[in-house]
Structure 1
């Protein structure tokens, strides 16, 4: 049974805590208890920070008693993906190499969440180093969707999405270099936003410039659009150590209540190049109809990305392989030997994907950027006529662990990534969200809503309009 506090949104909890209707310690204990009771189902958490959470709750209560200024997330539990750092807490990155590593400082957005009053209750499960469209590793094992734990939660923010959908926590940010926020959001039926590139700072070291290929984003995830908007208001903004960070351009929480009567939305379930299962298309058709009923103008279009699915995937792997192999150079600088003595400590999947991959030439890397430019221009052509583009997030619903699809609607696809429609927006840096759109056989389907760079508020406004017309909050497992 869901308790009064674990069933509440982050915004609802923050309001009741400010009104002294709830105490932070009560809220934290409810969530810690639910994690203890439920985490075994999905394996969403790698680490539960009971002691830290109770200390932070006590500090939050003292601030209330003293009448101190309160942040917008005061007393609200949050879980942090185990690729990101929380001071004094281990960050395993899903790898045996870092099974016992403890962070000595907070990641920038984590520091901002803490400053806003959020309370860290634990770390959520990723695949090793975040490389994967499903979540599994040799530290904690696989994560399943709460709708059917025998099926995948997606990756790489699979633990975050599962924790949200199972009401273990109301906020759980993720990261996204190829769909890692949107893929699990779709498979777990939660709302996840990959913001405009640079809006949420990502301070990578030792190479602060590595994340530009492909674009790697930090972003909020939650069960409600309001909670994501509230989180983005907290997380966004420039940072002196991120050379790509950009200023905040909107009040994102205010966008939740914005009407969408003047928005024009292009609708292409398959983006013109991706196979999509018919049952997923049917759900999307119903969802875009609700956007029309909410006031938006919707036209079905066929955007021209300039390349077929195989060419897009080849370009992604070329760019990603450069970045991934540099990760192993960094590991060597840290004293590991991933190409030799420590190779057996890595997942075979990772060895096949990165270490045994042929290193792209500089010419091939440059050609991948040409493909990326064509995709960018194709999307910009669409955004010259329309405010947003609506597509499927994924071509299918959650599948059983280890049974990645080899065909979609009768078309052969690359099993690891051939069923996702998220990577084009990592080429381009446009904001893109996965919005719960409906269900197929009781498994969630996500709609991907994207807009021009810095149109995050429009994406949020349309997402909130769909949430009002087609609410999903009562569809989560009990």
Structure 2
């Protein structure tokens, strides 16, 4: 058993007392000491505090009391999730010394499951953008090729997972922040259905673009972490009612007879790198070989760009507008521009975005009456050079802005459907490429079972 073993294997070894929480922690701290100086995925590391927590975990197990489902596993929370008593910087100099007094709900649940907190994982400033760098901790690099981006905004989480620095990771996703870094780092990331992983506290409990969710090195581990995160809570009025235990096991479902739509670009809605396109196209043959009925179809999501950009700008202005006004030089230019875009929105603009989003949701509902799954790129490009904020070109054509290369992810965001990014192929240079598998809203358990089945198809090849 090593730090590269699955989380489930590490937990089994802990339960059988084949390894102690202290020994497991030391293995992970050794890996962090080896890889983190170059990759910069784990920040605010506190080894002594973690050792005290690991010792307490060992004592609790020796006492024979009930143990949480993640008892003894090392864990580093995303640096945008408030952790009581730990630095939570949001990647912003304005919060470089911020230490919350209260856990947010996703942290509360994971800590209650028994993890040993070791630190935080790095993020872009306020989680804006799918490349992880900030002025507090610097740049996170890709674990496969450190000259490349690890993605974002859960880039530190994905990098730490892939490099064996942590066995599981939490994240959040608005424009692809769980799916994009999973694709870039060769791990699995799930954007759950809206309401599946409740969040609290929020400045706006009715805001419905960003969700929290799990990351792992395989689908089984992903399901385990989702089972801890998911489930209703009275503080979150939009939470779905299924208990978290519903998702504890992701048994592969049979793909035979499943109706799968595969689309490289949603009918030309966005540009896709040639190697990524080839990987998505190759998934059709793999799924057909497993007995699925595969068609080159896609839902019409033409309104998704306007919907997402309007609601993101509105959300950013509402959340950060006053902070920007008070600190006009404290934000990176791309984030400042996104906040200021919200200043010009009218009530009619926002109402139109919600009306269009309702149409998208209905269209997806009808699409999934005729299809079980939709397969898309998880990210439109492979990992790009780490010295760029975002890729400037795709197949030689200009990208436009820091959001335009993420349409494959944020078009799905606008629908509210669950989507998983699953490692599927590699570029000629050995960089990971993920496919995005989408299911109908609320069908997270089925999606995990389907992802587990696809994972079996490529096991040993990726």
TM-score (norm 1): 0.91
CA contact (8 A) 2:259 2:372 kept: yes
CA contact (8 A) 2:272 2:380 kept: yes
Q: How far is the alpha carbon of 1:79 from its aligned partner?
A: 1.6
Deviations 1:238-283 (A, max 9, x none): 1111121112267323333433335321111212222212211212
The one of 411, 418, 425 aligned to 1:431: 418
Q: How far is the alpha carbon of 1:69 from its aligned partner?
A: 1.8
Q: How far is the alpha carbon of 1:357 from its aligned partner?
A: 5.6
Go from structure 1 to structure 2 and tell me whether the alpha carbon gap of 1:62 and 1:294 turns closer, same or farther (over 3 Å shift): farther
The one of 250, 255, 262 aligned to 1:255: 250
Q: Following the alignment from structure 1 to structure 2, what is the Cα–Cα distance between the partners of residues 290 and 136?
A: 36
What residue ranges of structure 2 are gaps of 5+ in the alignment? Answer: none
Aligned twin of 2:33? 36
Q: Following the alignment from structure 1 to structure 2, what is the Cα–Cα distance between the partners of residues 326 and 349?
A: 17
Aligned twin of 1:450? 438
Matches within 5 A, 1:28-177: 28-177=25-174
The one of 5, 16, 19 aligned to 1:19: 16
CA contact (8 A) 1:321 1:359 kept: no
Q: Following the alignment from structure 1 to structure 2, what is the Cα–Cα distance between the partners of residues 425 and 416?
A: 18
Q: How far is the alpha carbon of 1:163 from its aligned partner?
A: 0.7
CA contact (8 A) 1:201 1:237 kept: yes
The one of 272, 294, 299 aligned to 2:290: 294
The one of 407, 415, 420 aligned to 2:393: 407
CA contact (8 A) 1:71 1:116 kept: yes
Q: How far is the alpha carbon of 1:285 from its aligned partner?
A: 2.5
CA contact (8 A) 2:260 2:373 kept: yes
The one of 453, 459, 462 aligned to 1:465: 453
Count, aligned residues: 457
Q: How far is the alpha carbon of 1:377 from its aligned partner?
A: 2.9
Aligned twin of 2:263? 268
Matched, 1:303 2:299: yes
CA contact (8 A) 1:435 1:447 kept: yes
What residue ranges of structure 1 are gaps of 5+ in the alignment? Answer: none
CA contact (8 A) 1:41 1:146 kept: no
- Find the residue that maps to 1:152 and give its secondary structure: coil
Go from structure 1 to structure 2 and tell me whether the alpha carbon gap of 1:48 and 1:438 turns closer, same or farther (over 3 Å shift): same
Q: Following the alignment from structure 1 to structure 2, what is the Cα–Cα distance between the partners of residues 251 and 292?
A: 29
CA contact (8 A) 1:291 1:462 kept: no
| Greater displacement, 369-378 / 216-225 | 369-378
Aligned twin of 1:363? 348
The one of 409, 419, 435 aligned to 2:405: 419
Aligned twin of 2:309? 317
Matched, 1:354 2:339: yes
CA contact (8 A) 1:155 1:184 kept: yes
Matched, 1:203 2:200: yes
Q: Following the alignment from structure 1 to structure 2, what is the Cα–Cα distance between the partners of residues 22 and 262?
A: 44
Give the ranges of 4+ consecutive aligned residues of structure 1 lying more than 4 Å apart after TM superposition: none
Q: Following the alignment from structure 1 to structure 2, what is the Cα–Cα distance between the partners of residues 163 and 255?
A: 23
Q: How far is the alpha carbon of 1:339 from its aligned partner?
A: 1.4
CA contact (8 A) 1:265 1:387 kept: yes
The one of 333, 343, 349 aligned to 2:328: 343
- Find the residue that maps to 1:146 and give its secondary structure: coil
Deviations 1:191-212 (A, max 9, x none): 0001111111111334333x22
Aligned twin of 1:223? 217
Q: How far is the alpha carbon of 1:345 from its aligned partner?
A: 2.4
Deviations 1:399-445 (A, max 9, x none): 11316333333544323122220112221221111011110121111
TM-score (norm 2): 0.94
Q: How far is the alpha carbon of 1:452 from its aligned partner?
A: 0.7
| Greater displacement, 115-124 / 429-438 | 115-124
Deviations 1:306-328 (A, max 9, x none): x2xxx633332211111111112
Q: Following the alignment from structure 1 to structure 2, what is the Cα–Cα distance between the partners of residues 294 and 253?
A: 25
CA contact (8 A) 2:203 2:319 kept: no
- Find the residue that maps to 2:133 and give its secondary structure: coil
